[in-house]
Structure 1
Amino acid sequence: LLHCRGFCTALDQHHRGEDRALFPAIEAAHPELAPVLRALTEDHAMIDVLLTALAAAAEGGVPPEDLERHLDGVGAIMENHFAFEERQLLGVLEALALDADPRDVLGRL
């Protein structure tokens, strides 16, 4: 669970960095992507709720099968989120020139 907690913290910081710095930079350069960026930001909020529930379950000493259900939910959302993000933004990200510290944009991994 320690590794899970570390991953969840890193993922949260990564999403906060995207929402705070990366997505505004993309939207400034590509306003047509605003709906995509909103959907990704909404995903981040949903993932945050799932990670909070996972942490509460882990700290509450729930049975392993309950933890597994939480992990499966997070995993399913993350797979869809990453696939959508790559389909919609990969080309833009490859060409985007950001004048920012990568740790501020992507979180400390």
Structure 2
Amino acid sequence: MHPWTEPSDRLTALGNQLIEIHLWLREELAALRAGLDSPTGARDLRAHCLTFCSALTRHHTGEDGGAFRVLAEQAPQLRPVLDELAADHEVVAAVLRRVEELAADPAGVDGVRAELDGLSALLESHFVYEEKKLVAALNAVRDGTTEELLGVPLPE
């Protein structure tokens, strides 16, 4: 490590890291959806859903308490956008609760599939909007770690 690294030890700008986390979450959701059709899909569904739901929840909770709070202070003109995104997080959380409930029932695969299809469309819209509106402002943030500000560490 070089002595000139940023205090947060972040080598990539936070907005770019947000994009990487969103790509990773998209891939995880696609794998979860694909796994529903595997021979062990129903059996593995609950574990896979819980893992994905937990990661997505940590990300959104981290944004709400981390990056969004910082951006509201540093770029107050973004507050309406941040409020919209936080409201989206509540809608996503409700969908995740339904997915977890349905995943608890081995016969709930079709219901899970329908919820995941809707979640996929919702997240795609949410991620694109968030990236469009926040990446430049996030790239200006210098303090804090990725996990503190975005809820999850940068995927490997």
User: TM-score by structure 1 length?
Assistant: 0.91
Which residue in the other structure is 1:44 paired with?
89
Runs of 4+ in 1 over 6 A off after TM superposition: none
Deviation at 1:60? 2.5
The alpha-carbon distance between structure 1 residues 53 and 63, as it changes in their structure 2 partners (threshold 3 A), is: closer
CA distance in 2, matches of 1:62, 1:46: 25
List alignment gaps of at least 5 residues for structure 2. Answer: 1-44
Query: Number of matched residues?
Result: 108
Deviation at 1:104? 2.0
In structure 2, which of residues 98, 114, 119 is the aligned counterpart of residue 69 of structure 1? 114
Matches within 5 A, 1:30-109: 30-97=75-142, 99-109=143-153
Deviation at 1:5? 1.7
CA distance in 2, matches of 1:92, 1:63: 41
Which residue in the other structure is 2:54 paired with?
9
The alpha-carbon distance between structure 1 residues 96 and 108, as it changes in their structure 2 partners (threshold 3 A), is: closer
User: TM-score by structure 2 length?
Assistant: 0.65
Deviation at 1:37? 0.1
Task: State the superposition RMSD in angstroms.
Answer: 1.3
CA distance in 1, matches of 2:55, 2:108: 25
Deviation at 1:103? 1.7
Residue by residue over 1:43-84, the C-alpha shift from the partner in whole angstroms, topping out at 9 and shown as x without a partner, is: 000000000000001103334322110110111110010010
Higher relative contact order (CA 8 A, sep 6+): 1
For the pair shown, the structure with the greater C-alpha radius of gyration is 2
Deviation at 1:95? 1.7
In structure 2, which of residues 67, 73, 97 is the aligned counterpart of residue 22 of structure 1? 67
Identity of aligned residues (%): 35
Deviation at 1:94? 1.5
